[in-house]
Structure 1
Amino acid sequence: MKPVLLPPNPVQHFYRGGDRIAALRGIVPETDRQPEEWLGATVTRFGDPVTGLAVTADGDVLRDLVAAAPRAWVGEGAGSSASDVGVLVKLLDARQRLPVHVHPERGFAAAHLDCPYGKTEAWYVLETEPDCAFYVGWRERVDRDELDRRRDAQDSEWMLDHLNRVVAHEGMGVLVPAGTAHAIDGGIFVMEVQEPTDFSILLEWSVTTSTRDQSHLDLGFDTVMPAVSTAALGPEELAALVRPAGEGAPRGTTRSVLPAAADPYFRLRTAAAGAAFEAGFAVVLVTEGEGALTADDGTAVAVRGGEAYAVPHAFGAWRASGDATVLVAGPGAGWPATLRSGGVR
């Protein structure tokens, strides 16, 4: 069973962007509000049964392929459903600042959204304009009633001023635990990996085309605000969420580009030619060069820069060959057992 080519899958959204995705993937954007591409997605946008689903070059919906042969795609053990691959991968290319928002953790999602996944996520910076930044976690504890008032007043200045500002650099990895308030400046282009959901609580909707009624997961703010942490994220805790930009992987090796704390949720590794990967579901983005994904049995799929592939478990252990440089995303260590064992909270 070979990796399948994933044609471009741009997603229309409430914020502007998408030109760098289009350039990488070799397409012409239809609008200036296609700032995301969902790569290898078997889940959809919240409240929408279709948007986001990946379709292969042969026209098959990837979710249906996985559901029809889950062992071939993800190996032994079942996720939350037959089509669950344990991870959602996106390209995110914002040309305006994203709103201050929060994603719920697993306990809240299980209790209120009938889902075992929350939405811890991470970003790997592909490109950035000078002095653009991520905003991650409150610099000091905030009063919950005050936060409610600032949210209702749509006081963007207050929210941003109370968040930690982390200047983006190409090659940097940033982990955002569920419950953490965050935002992203326009001008940053990232590969995003996350738990496979689309659960977002908007504290700030006025800078987008979204509305207050679309900002609380259809649950009401009284219900969702307890999912928003008001605790301070201090310097040491923040540093543990950031992996500084590093050198590319030497030939024949792989390198994690995310902080170690991301490993239970998902993994994202960069690799140069000759690097080996274990069997397992993966989404592969070829960032540059040409080469092949070659299984241990000699089966090979030719690849080139700008292409994306979904790799099934049944492809077996494999390696990148030729001059291709790839980013390889997959579910977290111990998945899917961690969904049932409580190993990740």
Structure 2
Amino acid sequence: MKPVLLPPRPVQHFYRGGDRIAALRGIEPETDRQPEEWLASTVSRFGSDDIGLAVTDDGAYLRDLVGADRAAWVGARGGRDAADLGILVKLLDARQRLPVHVHPDRGFAASHLDCPYGKTEAWYVLETEDHCAVHLGWNRPVDRDELDRRREAQDGEWMLAHMNRIVVRPGMGVLVPAGTVHAIDGGIFLAEVQEPTDFSILLEWSVTTSTCEESHLDLGFDAVMPAVSTDALDAAALDALISTAGTAPAEAGFRSLLPSAADPYFRLFDAAGETAPREAGFAVVLVSDGAGALVSEAGSVDVERGQVYAVPHAFGAWRLTGAAEVLVAAPGAGWPMTLRGGDVR
């Protein structure tokens, strides 16, 4: 079984962006508000049946292909459901600042949303304008009652002033643990890897097209605010969430691009040129530059810049050949057994 090529399928959203996704994927943007693409996705946007789902060249949903032959795609062990791949990968091209928001952890999702996954995520910076930053965690402890008041007043400037601001550059990887407040400046183009859900608690909905009633996962703020950490994220804790491995040129081997704390949730690698084989298992491959091939005992697939492939477990151990540069996203180490018992610690 060979990797499946997935044509571009940009996602319309409230915020501006998408020109850099279009340039990478070799398409013309239809609007200036197609700032995301969900790569090899078998999950859809919260409240939608199909927005975000990956589709093959012949129009089939990848979700249906995986569900029909799960062992071939992910191996013998099952996850949340028949189409669960253990990971969601996105391209995100923001031309305006994204709102201050938070994602729930696995314990909250299990008890309130009937889902074993929360939404820990990580960002890998592909391109950025000068002086752009991400905002991650509180820079001092925040009083919950004060946070409630600032949320009701939609005081985004107060929230940002109380958050850690991290100026980013291409090749940086940033882990965003569930429960941690965050936002992204306009001007940043990144690949995002995350748990396969679309659970978001918007503390700042006024800069979006959402309303207050659409900002709390249909649960109410009284129910969701306990999922929001109010603890400070100090310098040492913040440093542990950042990797600069990708700021050096890619090598002829699969190099981890994220902090080790991400490993139980998802993994992200890059590689260039000729590599040794990597283990069999589901993966999402984005060809970021050049041309080459994915090669295993099951066959060979030619690849080139801008293409995205869903690589099934049944492709076996595979290697990269030629002059391509790739990003490879995979489920967390030990998945799906790490789903048992709530949050990974």
Tell me whether the two structures share a fold, i.e. TM-score over 0.5: yes
Which stretch of the first structure deviates more once superposed, 231-240 or 270-279? 270-279
Q: Measure, in 1, the Cα distance between the counterparts of 2:28 and 2:250.
A: 31
Structure 2 spans left out of the alignment, 5+ residues: none
**Alignment partners' CA distance in 2, 1:333 and 1:205:** 35
2:294 corresponds to 1:293: yes
Q: In structure 1, how many angstroms separate the alpha carbons of the residues matched to 2:79 and 2:250?
A: 31
Name the SS for the 2:107 alignment partner.
Answer: helix
TM-score relative to the length of structure 2: 0.98
| Paired residues of 1:288 and 1:325 also in contact (CA < 8 A) | yes
Q: What is the DSSP-based 3-state SS (H/G/I as helix, E as strand, rest coil) of the residue aligned with 1:123?
A: strand
Alignment of 1:2-151 (within 5 A): 2-151=2-151
Which letter maps to 1:282?
A
Describe the superposition over 1:216-260 as per-residue Cα deviations: whole angstroms up to 9, x where unpaired. 001110100000000000000000000024313322x11111111
Asked whether the equivalents of residues 66 and 83 of structure 2 are also in contact (C-alpha less than 8 Å), the reply is yes
Partner of 2:318: 318
Deviation at 1:17, TM superposition (A): 0.7
| Matching residue's letter, 2:204 | E
Other-structure match for 2:335: 335
Paired residues for 1:185-264 under 5 Å: 185-244=185-244, 245-251=246-252, 253-264=253-264
Tell me, yes or no, if the aligned pair for 1:289 and 1:325 is still in contact at 8 Å: yes
Matched residue of 2:17: which SS?
Answer: coil
Counterpart for residue 306 of structure 2: 306
- The CA RMSD measured in Å over matched residues stands at 1.0
How far did residue 344 of structure 1 move?
Answer: 1.1
In structure 2, distance between residues paired with 1:207 and 1:313: 41
CA contact (8 A) 2:154 2:205 kept: yes
User: Is this contact kept in 2: 1:134–1:166, CA < 8 A?
Assistant: yes
CA distance in 2, matches of 1:201, 1:8: 28
Which amino acid in 1 is paired with 2:291?
A: E
State the aligned residue count.
Answer: 343
User: For 1:179-215, what per-residue CA distance to the aligned partner results, in whole angstroms no more than 9, with x for missing partners?
Assistant: 0000000000000000000000000011112211111
Question: Hey, what does 1:277 align to over in structure 2?
Answer: 278
Runs of 4+ in 1 over 6 A off after TM superposition: none
Q: How many Å separate the matches in 1 of 2:175 and 2:247?
A: 16
- Partner-residue secondary structure (3-state), 1:145: helix
Cα distance between partner residues in 2 of 1:160 and 1:298 = 50
CA distance in 2, matches of 1:159, 1:250: 40
1:268 corresponds to: 268
Q: Distance in 2 between matches of 1:57 and 1:259?
A: 35
Matched AA of 1:259: P
Report SS of the residue matched to 2:207.
coil
Unpaired runs of 5+ residues, structure 1, are none
Q: In structure 2, what residue type is equivalent to 1:134? A: V
Q: Secondary structure at 1:274's aligned position in 2?
A: coil
Return the alpha-carbon distance in structure 2 between the equivalents of residues 150 and 98 of structure 1: 17
The answer to whether the 8 A contact 1:248-1:270 is kept is no
Do the aligned partners of 1:19 and 1:29 also contact (CA within 8 Å) in 2? Answer: yes
SS in 1 for 2:217: coil
Q: Which amino acid is 2:197 matched to? A: T
TM-score (norm 1): 0.98
